[in-house]
Structure 1
């Protein structure tokens, strides 16, 4: 099988080991369609992976992720690794982790939740990582993966 060849980036971030089919959601979360610095964005979909069988990869030139962005990626792609590139070298590499408490990055799916009517920071407790389930601090609604992805 031919090997995937992609040019190196000088500065930026590579998000690897994204479950196959989730790469577009990662691009959406990071708002990469709205990059103003003109940096290249590469999305490789359904590429062979020893660890996952198939995976997606997102490579972003000139962008470094915030903690909030990393936490959002963890919800979508809990197997992902983030590589920080500086001067064509990987200077930092880490696996994303779903935090025990998710604050301010997820909307509650309950239309009657106080978070839709009052200015309060949303807060969810992770009750299961596999399959992903969270519970709202305010209304105690449990949300599963499909609702979580729809409310990021």
Structure 2
């Protein structure tokens, strides 16, 4: 059986690979990746070689930073980032959950001071398996299902 290329290569940019199926569009929206004029290719429900599927995002002329990759770990903990230059992968790395996340998510506790004061939200990663975050300000802990941005 002849293999065929299903997703076109990019000359320069970033590829976010190994995103759980169904999360690709949510990542595009959350990180506002469509707010640029750069070409974006998204693959949904692509075969992985096994019996599972994955999503994939290619963004031309955009380099995903380490900070963005760590934020991405909340959505796609098994993702890998490939940085592309002149059609070659020049750097490849797995996303990792940082010790803390700042300015990305709003605290689900409506009484938290972070909603009424000019401060960036700040959460500590309390549990890495079935991710739980603890708010720096109100000290309440939440599973990721409590954050509407992650649903």
Would you say 1:75 and 2:104 are equivalent positions?
no
User: What is the correspondence of 1:80-91 to structure 2 with a 5 Å cutoff?
Assistant: 80-91=79-90
Note closer, same or farther for the CA distance 1:99–1:9 as it changes in structure 2 (3 Å cut). Answer: same
**Residues of 1 paired with 2:57 and 2:135: CA distance?**
30
Report the alpha carbon displacement of residue 120 of structure 1 after superposing the two structures with TM: 2.0
Structure 1 unaligned spans of 5+: none
Q: Which residue of 1 aligns with 2:133?
A: 134
Q: Which residue of 1 aligns with 2:105?
A: 106
Q: CA deviation at 1:52?
A: 7.9
Q: Give me the whole-angstrom Cα distance separating, in 1, the residues matched to 2:131 and 2:137.
A: 19
Shift of 1:91: 0.1
Give ranges in structure 2 of 5+ residues lacking alignment.
none
Aligned residue pairs, count: 150
Query: In the TM superposition, what whole-angstrom CA distance separates every residue of 1:17-67 from its partner, at most 9, and x where no partner exists?
Result: 00111101111122122113xx21111111111478211000111111233
Rate the CA distance shift 1:118–1:12 in 2: closer, same or farther, 3 A: same
Corresponding residue for 2:28?
27
**C-alpha contact (below 8 Å) 2:12/2:61 kept by paired residues:** yes
- Residues of 2 paired with 1:93 and 1:101: CA distance? 23
Q: Relative to 1, partners in 2 of residues 1:87 and 1:136: Cα closer, same or farther, differing over 3 Å? A: same
Runs of 4+ in 1 over 4 A off after TM superposition: 1-4
CA distance in 2, matches of 1:141, 1:51: 39
Q: CA RMSD in A?
A: 2.1
